[in-house]
Amino acid sequence: MLDIFKKKPKIEEKEKLLFKINPSENITQLPDVTDRESFDVRYPLIPPYSYAHIFWDKPNNEMVYFVEEPKLDDSDKRTLNILEDSLKELIDISFINIKEEDVVIEYLEKNIKILLNEFGMRITEDTLQRIMYYIYRDFVGLNEIEPIMKDYFIEDIECNGSQTPVYLVHRKYRNMRTNIVFSDNKKLAGFVEKLAQKSGKYVSYANPILDGILPDSSRVNATYTQDISSRGPTFSIRKFTKEPWTPIKLIDSRTVSPEILAYLWLLVEYENNLMVIGATASGKTSFLNAISFFIPPQARIVSIEDTRELQLIHENWLPSVAREGVGLASGKPHGEITIFELLRESFRQRPDYVIVGEVRGQEAFVLFQAAASGHPMLSTMHAEDVATMIRRLETPPINLPPSLVQSLDIVCVMSQAKVGKKMTRRLREISEIIDVNATNFRINTPFLWDPRQDKFYFKTNSTILDRISVKHGISREQLNNEFRIRTKLLWAMYQNKIFGFKEVQDIINIYYKAPEQILKKFNII
């Protein structure tokens, strides 16, 4: 039983509960936009209470996303305000645990009924359910944006201050304005405090910037005062799917081709060093997570991130996350654990593969030294192209010498691109690092995406495959044959609609241990 009350009134155990949420297990199939001006679609968020309504707003000539919630008249609103104020006296909100949502809802409804009885209020069952929806939304959820948080298709939620609409990024329909507006700075500041509480962080006028992880693993960044954001407090929430995208899902979305994945599979297996680069929201971390499926099942993985985003099904995986400190001790926040410190210590843990969520500063020196000494690494970095990446690595604050930069084998360049009328993510190119010196660098590009035709092109000559051949004593004919087989296997998995997180990982793991068994299953010669 969850202890969330300061006072616990007596409650009859077998009282019938009215408020229930009926979550759908199936993802809504949304239509493509063929005629924007007549487009109109509606789908459930928190059924049967709230819905997303996406339509063309003719006066403003734009696609908009409206959250539809139960209607309350003035009398119902007054009742709701009284009940919410009374519940705040009864319940210590900080003890509400989202993992025990059903239990919390039960406690809330039972206490609402007790309060209604004490105040002598008489309302219909229908009104009670509508009021309970708002109680649930504001006490258990994230207030006005709770319905959006339940939307599978949402990637980002952005608020630029009070009295301005909240915007979002939809996986299918991209950037849209919503009908959610925080009326004043006081209300928005209270909501930022709630975000901090939910992510286990603290925000104040002295520490007005919040960077944390919500209980559903969404990443939140917020500002608390008008001093640093002129429109008032702000927040941005980056939502992640419950299951990360698998390599087969990337084929389905046309982010990559089976040939690209087969090539990367070989490179990961034979312990090459790989960097995924691209602009913000280009899909770097999702792509890094997908190619991590190709790490051999017996290998030990150590991952290091500043906020937890990677999700792997790997028994021998040690995930590490940096930690912020408080106050100051010896010139740095007390208790702070940086990516640099985690990375330095990780090499005492005998990793076979090191994954760093993002390279930004001094940790790059340790990471590239380890790569040069034989510890294969996978990481991401903000850079538009290989030239920009090398400049960032060789200049302050990173300052790597060219000899260490050359320990990098492969660079995957991710990009957001417009294909037809749709914004998509594509692997723009793969570059093999041949040589890096003080004045120049040389690369080979075996894979390239053509934006005009939306097709991937590849050439057979590969410097990295030649290196693998020499280093591991495997002929190029054998590598080429393995490349063809794995391409066929990945394509067969796509044709059989094998997209599940665990399913894909199991097939890859079995292929490492008993390839004949998998090839026979998919009729691959």
Cβ-based neighbours of 239, under 8 Å, separated by 6 or more: 149, 154, 155, 156, 157, 216, 218
The tally of domains found in the chain comes to: 2
DSSP, collapsed to helix, strand or coil, labels residue 369 as: helix
Please determine, for residue 233, whether its predicted confidence score (pLDDT) is greater than 50: yes
- Asked, for residue 6, whether it belongs to a domain, the answer is no
Query: 317 and 365 share a domain?
Result: yes
Handedness of CA 127, 132, 137, 143 (dihedral sign): positive
Pairwise pLDDT comparison (440 vs 1), residue with the higher score: 440
Tell me which residue of 108, 425, 487, 432 sits closest to 263, measured CA to CA. 487
Please determine, for residue 74, whether its predicted confidence score (pLDDT) is greater than 80: yes
- 360 is written with which tokens? 């930004």
Residue 482 pLDDT level (bands cut at 50, 70, 90): very high
Pairwise pLDDT comparison (108 vs 66), residue with the higher score: 66
Tell me which residue of 114, 29, 288 sits closest to 106, measured CA to CA. 114
- Asked, for residue 2, whether it belongs to a domain, the answer is no
- 283 is written with which tokens? 């899909």
What would the pLDDT profile of 261-320 be if each residue is shown by its tens digit? 999 999 999 999 999 999 988 999 999 999 999 999 999 999 999 877 888 989 899 999
Query: 283 and 420 share a domain?
Result: yes
Query: 264 and 202 share a domain?
Result: no
- Asked, for residue 9, whether it belongs to a domain, the answer is no
Domain final residue, candidates 185, 204, 238: 238
CB 281 within 8 A of CB 416: yes
- Asked, for residue 233, whether it belongs to a domain, the answer is yes
Instruction: Please tell me the number of Cα atoms within 13 Å of 71 on its side-chain side.
Output: 1
Distance CA 321, CA 306 (A): 5
- Asked, for residue 21, whether it belongs to a domain, the answer is no
Query: 121 and 198 share a domain?
Result: yes
Query: 165 and 258 share a domain?
Result: no
Domain final residue, candidates 205, 238, 271: 238
Q: What is the DSSP string of 66-126?
A: EEE-----HHHHHHHHHHHHHHHHHB-GGG--GGGHHHHHHHHHHHHHHHHHHHT----HH
One-letter amino acid at 447 equals: F
Q: Which domain range does residue 340 map to?
A: 247-521
- Asked, for residue 181, whether it belongs to a domain, the answer is yes
pLDDT for 96 equals 52
pLDDT for 394 equals 94
Crossing angle of helices 125-135 and 101-119, in 10° steps, is 130
Query: 197 and 265 share a domain?
Result: no
Query: 175 and 282 share a domain?
Result: no
Pairwise pLDDT comparison (227 vs 388), residue with the higher score: 388
pLDDT for 2 equals 37
pLDDT for 422 equals 77
pLDDT for 393 equals 95
- Asked, for residue 20, whether it belongs to a domain, the answer is no
Please determine, for residue 99, whether its predicted confidence score (pLDDT) is greater than 70: no
pLDDT for 4 equals 37
Alpha carbon 282 to chain centroid, angstroms: 12
Instruction: Please tell me the number of Cα atoms within 13 Å of 457 on its side-chain side.
Output: 8
Query: 61 and 152 share a domain?
Result: yes
Dihedral pair phi/psi, residue 76, rounded to 5°: -65, -40
pLDDT for 10 equals 44
pLDDT for 459 equals 84
Please report, for the domain that includes residue 212, its CATH number. Answer: 3.30.450.380
Domain final residue, candidates 204, 220, 238: 238
Query: 362 and 476 share a domain?
Result: yes
What would the pLDDT profile of 132-164 be if each residue is shown by its tens digit? 999 999 988 999 999 999 999 999 999 999 999
- Asked, for residue 230, whether it belongs to a domain, the answer is yes
Query: 287 and 309 share a domain?
Result: yes
Cα separations in angstroms, 439 against 294, 368, 408, 442: 35, 20, 17, 11
Distance CA 145, CA 96 (A): 18
Please determine, for residue 227, whether its predicted confidence score (pLDDT) is greater than 90: no
Please determine, for residue 122, whether its predicted confidence score (pLDDT) is greater than 70: yes
Query: 451 and 307 share a domain?
Result: yes
Residue 9 pLDDT level (bands cut at 50, 70, 90): very low
| Omega before 397 within 30 of 0, i.e. cis | yes
Pairwise pLDDT comparison (387 vs 336), residue with the higher score: 387
Please report, for the domain that includes residue 498, its CATH number. Answer: 3.40.50.300
Query: 261 and 136 share a domain?
Result: no
